[in-house]
Amino acid sequence: MSLSRIPFFHGVRLKISPLRSVLFVCLGNICRSPLAEGIFKSVLEAEGKAEGVLIDSAGTNGYHTGEAPDARSIKVAGRHGIDISGQQCRQLAADDFDRFELIVGMDRMNIAAIEKRRPVGATAQAGLLYEIALGHPKQIPDPYYGTEADFEAVYRMILAASKGLSARF
């Protein structure tokens, strides 16, 4: 990717050198971000890039802390050979902003919540998943109130974004 095509987020140009850590964030850490964590790990493993990379997920709220991901997320991931059933939901924490180089939100509401929680002097770069990965300001919709077809559509969107994001790792 040429320098002119690397997107800016909050006035910061993303690193060109390989990233080594990413945190995926959605509202409750039960639907989209656990899927993103599992899918991205799977993509990096398939590309031989997973070793030494820190990948995790969190929610901007703590409603589901300690719970497993939504059964529909587990099911759609499983249909594609990805097991996310062992993940536990957690809330975004202040130390995440220094533990991770990149924090990606699934939608603009998540990005706003991430930035609101950002501690002064935090080093993580943050942005919208689809925009960072594919250069499009597209949001990943929350499938929680939808059908299994909505979860499958979200899976496909996250898979496409994960394949794009893997180029930065």
Q: Exactly one of 31, 32, 72, 89 is catalytic; name it.
A: 32
Q: Is 142 part of the annotated catalytic residue set?
A: yes
Q: Is 117 part of the annotated catalytic residue set?
A: no
Contact 60, 91 (CB under 8 A): yes
Contact 25, 33 (CB under 8 A): yes
Q: Exactly one of 26, 70, 90, 96 is catalytic; name it.
A: 26
Strand partners for 24: 57, 104
- Cα 150 from Cα 160, distance rounded (Å): 16
Q: Exactly one of 56, 70, 107, 142 is catalytic; name it.
A: 142
| Alpha helices, DSSP H, located in 5-69 | 32-46
Active-site residues, by number, are: 26, 32, 142
